[in-house]
Amino acid sequence: MTQVSNSVKVSTLIDARGPRFGAAITTVVLAAALATNNVWFIVAQAIVFAVGAFKGPQFTPYAFIYKTLVKPRLKNEFEKEDVRPPQFAQSVGLLFALVAIAGATSGLNLLFSIAVAGALGAAFLNAAFKFCLGCEIYLLLLRARSK
């Protein structure tokens, strides 16, 4: 008999529109980085990703902008979301940003561009299509690791 745990614990719930707004700003910052090849855009974005990954996506500067400027202007009822999926996405973003920084500082410009392009694609998918990175890759990572 397989041991089955039937409930997935729910942690903190946040306004689902916050991380999506953050993904839109992230898209712009990463696009600027890719167009200019300027590593400082990525350093700034890496700090934001780190806050999102370690403290939570509701504590990033982008979330602050959302809370103070955007949310008060929205009238619709908001959709609640578990904080862990966007937090996972921030961690993956941080990983890509660190690879990009490593590429830039070691003179591997192609590595920088590929890492930034990957992060840009994911951030854009999240902002435009509500793409859930954790849904698509987390289980595949687990399956690959424990094979």
If the CB atoms of residues 73 and 140 are measured against other proteins, the closer one turns out to be 140
Of the candidate residues 24, 67, 71, 113, the single one contacting other proteins (CB under 8 A): 113
The answer to whether the CB of 120 falls within 8 A of the CB of 34 is yes
Query: β-strand 13-15 against 80-82: which pairing, if any?
Result: antiparallel
Binding region for other proteins (CB under 8 A) out of 52-60, 64-72, 93-101, 131-139: 131-139
The answer to whether the CB of 62 falls within 8 A of the CB of 97 is no
Binding mask 7-26 for other proteins (x = CB under 8 A): xxxx-----x----------
Of the candidate residues 18, 86, 93, 103, the single one contacting other proteins (CB under 8 A): 86
Three-class DSSP category at 30? helix
C-alpha 48/C-alpha 97 separation (Å) is 10
- Does residue 74 interact with other proteins by CB under 8 A? no
If the CB atoms of residues 20 and 46 are measured against other proteins, the closer one turns out to be 20
Find, among 58, 141, 44, 31, the residue nearest to 92 by Cα.
141
- Does residue 110 interact with other proteins by CB under 8 A? no
Of the candidate residues 23, 29, 34, 51, the single one contacting other proteins (CB under 8 A): 34
Sort 76 into a burial class: Cβ within 10 Å, 0-12 / 13-18 / 19+: exposed
Interface contacts to other proteins, rule CB under 8 A: 1-10, 16, 31, 34-37, 79, 81-82, 84-89, 113, 117, 120-121, 124-125, 128-136, 138-140, 142-143, 146
